Amino acid sequence: MKDLSILKYFLGIEVAHSQQGIFLSRRKYTLDIISETSLLGAKPAAFPLEQNHHLGSSDNTVRRCRTFMHAPRFDHWTTALRVVKYLKGSPGQGILLKSACSLHLTGWCDSDWVSCPLTR
C-alpha cells in the first residue's frame, strides 16, 4: 500500500480540506456537462422543473427521464436541458463534512410522489 498524500479528486468528486472540515463537490463534472450541452451562455433556472410539468403518461416520472436519453423525444430533451440550466446556477454546490462535530447524516427530499397519477 502506498500513501498518495491528501486526497483532492476521486471518482469525479472534488475534495477540499479546510479548518472547517472536508468539502465534497462535483463542480468540474457539472461545468463539463454545461459546456457539452452548449449552455454556458444560458440563463440559469431557479428550479429543475416548472411546477406541474408532466412528461406524458407513457413516460412515467421525471426521475426516470434519463431512461429515455438514448432516443429522447422533445419533452425529454427540454426537461434534461432545464435540469442542466438549474445546475448552472450553483455548480459548486456540495457537502461539508464538519470536523468540529460528530457525523449525523440527515437527508431531505422535496418530492411529491403522491401527485404521480401512474404510481400512487
The whole-chain average pLDDT of the chain stands at: 79
Q: Report if pTM > 0.85.
A: no
The sign of the torsion formed by the CA atoms of 16, 22, 27, 30 equals positive
Q: Write out pLDDT tens, residues 77-87.
A: 888 888 889 88
pLDDT score of 1 more than 60: yes
Q: Write out pLDDT tens, residues 57-67.
A: 544 444 555 66
Q: Which residue has the higher pLDDT, 60 or 30?
A: 30
Q: What are the boundaries of each domain within the chain?
A: 9-104
DSSP codes joined into one string, the chain: -----S--EETTEEEEE-SSEEEEE-HHHHHHHHHHTT-TTSPPPSSSS-TT----GGG--GGGGGGGTTS--HHHHHHHHHHHHHHHT-TT-EEEEESSS-----------GGG-TTT-
Q: Write out pLDDT tens, residues 105-119.
A: 777 776 666 666 655
